Amino acid sequence: MSDVVTITREGAVAIVTIDNPPVNAVGQAVRQGLWDAVTTLEPDTQVEAVILACAGNTFIAGADIREFDGGSMEPWLADLIDRIHSSAKPWIAALHGTVLGGGLETALGCHYRIADRRTKIGLPEVSLGILPGAGGTQRTPRLTGAAAAVQLVTTGVPVSAEKALEFGLIDRVTDDLDADTMTLAQHAAGQPVPRLDPAPAESNLSQDDWDNLRKQVEKQARGQLSPVRAFDAVRLAFETPLAEGMDAERDIFMELKETDQSKALRHAFFAERAVGKPAALKSGTPRDISRLAVIGGGLMGSGIATAALSAGYTTTIVEQSAEAATTARERVAGNLASAVKRGKITEEARDATLDRLTTTDDFDAVADADLIIEAVFEESDVKRAVFDKLATAARPDAILATNTSYIDPTTFTSQVPNPERIMGLHFFSPAHIMRLVEVVRTPDTHPDVLATGFTMAKKMRKVAVLSGICDGFIGNRILGAYGRMAGYLLEDGASAAQIDGAMKDFGMPMGPFEMFDMAGLQIGYSNRKREAATRDPQMRYSRIADLIVEDGATGQKTGRGFYRYEQGSRAALPSPETEALISAERAEKGITPRSFEDSEIVAMLHAVQVNEAAKILQEGIAERPLDVDVVKMMGYGYPRWRGGPMQEADARGTAQVLSTMQSIADADPGSWHVADLLQEIGGKNGRFADLNT
């Protein structure tokens, strides 16, 4: 008998139970166990129906993703599912939890599917850069028709049990899974077994319709291969018999599994889980916290409060005046209202959530908070004033977090008793939607405080990444190098449109200059003016952004920045004024504009990010390359299918990245210095991934 698959019996019904924590992934041992179960049950004349169920929180959540990097695949899942489907006895899949990927495919091989009402059902393979490889693309369309199959397979987004029922993917939804499954099995026992029609599925779509649908999928995929190939496989279900479609599906699966995209997406999956377990957290125990206070109810503060409330925390926003407090409440209510609109929460849930919010202008209201997040204006003096007040108003054991994108949290350690309770949190705007949080530790921060930050972030359904202290922490420091290189490229002859276009073709949602215009050029301008005195005189300084601001244009909001914008539109159009200004600046500096290949632009912008990240790693600001990758993917739009800059460096070859970086540094040694770690890894064409633990 297998360790992970057991058989019990109740009269003529056999119950096959998978018990493979944490998510009952259908790895080799489970496949073998099920294979053996079929072998045992098929000839057993006492058994007239079989229930397939799972122990624990969930039915099978998919194939075991760790096996994709090698290891034994036999027995192949598709063959196992075929055997189940060909069984002379009815198999009934009892679904609960998350029925995903190979889990759903296994259920589709059964003859009946019954699901607990809270079950989520889907085929998320495309988000791992593959496609359902065990019949999902062929059996789903035969049950649901074209539209639902295309949706399920190409988006990867799971649906509710009710929706799955409506699609025809399952037969029943129940509130009493065990009892109703047994009743169904008893009725089915000894009856003819219903089987899927192996003929091509039917749809009323013309060839043109299919071609147009493919174009849509391609557009949405933005360079990602798997949704498009998965679409092709679904289409085959309408053109070929089941067996042929299955063969084609297996071929595409094998092809996609080996692509850099799939490797990057699998890396992203595991990296997003590994960031929550940095070594520095091992000695920390999260504290119990239930009451949060947020100082400042602006866009950031109200976003953070919305996330805190949604995570179940009782939350108080402290503002400077009663009016501002009211506005903060309205902001939170607005955020929750849009969540209702998007179908994320019900109106009742919204009301219950808002009931846990207090807004006030009384600073002493922080007195009962377990954790206080300061989210006031990004100015040291403004934040310092808040910490002065916290020194007496907060409980001496309350955790104090400063939300900041650049300010060193140790600025405040001398101001409050017990500075080991201070940490930085860098939320991304809008804070109730963006999932990344950088948790910044000071040399004093107690491991329990860090662990609490991570637990709180998880409850808020965010992904926390640990960062040490440096200018811009992990994400913005790398962004700084990226922006600087983009500025030099512009000055040297590439146009903003070319640079942005190249980066969008690479997979970024927007290019650097569109991003600058969207964020507004004013803050960067003020920062640069403030830092002018301390700037390294050896470092090349591109004045173009400053000149644009001094010409009265500060980005999208004012209708002009690097681009021109028509009223009410975000479409970036060429700005003759800005272009003239750039030409004049090149002439003034004596730069003869040269042309760049898009691939050169991408390689240079990639290399400087990897170089900065390598410095961040060697300084211990980030623990592992995967921490950098997650920050860039979750906070800065780095395409998941490239897995982040470090994964991309491994895919391109670190020797190549080093060589690009070396040329950049050789051409302008005042501005660039090759990181020792990049020298070391690139010098032997090694992999950053080998530093991940």
Q: Which residues bind ligand 3H9 (CB under 6 A)?
A: 22-23, 25, 61-66, 77, 98, 100-102, 105, 124-125, 128, 132-134, 136, 253, 273
Residue 660's identity, in one-letter code, is T
Look up tokens 């998007």; give the residue.
Answer: 342
Distance in angstroms (rounded) separating the CA atoms of residues 693 and 689: 9
CB atoms within 10 A of CB 133: 25
CA distances from 397 to 130, 228, 290, 416, 562 (A): 49, 54, 14, 11, 48
For the record, the structure tokens of 393 come out as 């108003």
Cβ-proximal residues to 623 (8 Å cutoff; 6+ apart), any chain: 278, 279, 280, 466, 693
CB 235, min distance to ligand 3H9, A: 18
CA distances from 207 to 248, 555, 686 (A): 20, 45, 47
59 or 428, CB closer to ligand 3H9? 59
128 or 674, CB closer to ligand 3H9? 128
74 or 668, CB closer to ligand 3H9? 74
Closest CA to 96 of 182, 177, 169, 14: 177
| Bridging pattern class, strands 422-427 and 436-440 | antiparallel
CB 268, min distance to ligand 3H9, A: 11
108 or 657, CB closer to ligand 3H9? 108
Distance in angstroms (rounded) separating the CA atoms of residues 575 and 602: 24
CB 119, min distance to ligand 3H9, A: 12
CB 540 within 8 A of CB 670: yes
Give the ranges where 145-202 is alpha helix by DSSP (H). Answer: 146-155, 161-167, 177-188
13 or 77, CB closer to ligand 3H9? 77
Distance in angstroms (rounded) separating the CA atoms of residues 585 and 426: 36
461 or 529, CB closer to ligand 3H9? 461
CB 272, min distance to ligand 3H9, A: 8
14 or 128, CB closer to ligand 3H9? 128
152 or 399, CB closer to ligand 3H9? 152
CB atoms within 10 A of CB 469: 16
CA distances from 587 to 140, 332, 592, 594 (A): 62, 50, 7, 13
Cβ-proximal residues to 222 (8 Å cutoff; 6+ apart), any chain: 507, 509, 639
CB 122, min distance to ligand 3H9, A: 8
CB 22, min distance to ligand 3H9, A: 4
CB 680 within 8 A of CB 661: no
Beta strands in 391-505 (DSSP E): 399-403, 422-427, 436-440, 463-467
For the record, the structure tokens of 44 come out as 């057993």
Q: Phi, psi (5° rounding) for residue 442?
A: -95, 170
CB 137, min distance to ligand 3H9, A: 9
CB 237, min distance to ligand 3H9, A: 15
CB 372 within 8 A of CB 329: no
527 or 693, CB closer to ligand 3H9? 693
CB 236, min distance to ligand 3H9, A: 16
257 or 356, CB closer to ligand 3H9? 257
Distance in angstroms (rounded) separating the CA atoms of residues 23 and 277: 19
Distance in angstroms (rounded) separating the CA atoms of residues 553 and 547: 9
102 or 297, CB closer to ligand 3H9? 102
For the record, the structure tokens of 484 come out as 């600087």
100 or 423, CB closer to ligand 3H9? 100
CB 74, min distance to ligand 3H9, A: 12
Half-sphere exposure of residue 568, counting CA atoms within 13 Å on the CB side?
0
CB 438 within 8 A of CB 426: yes
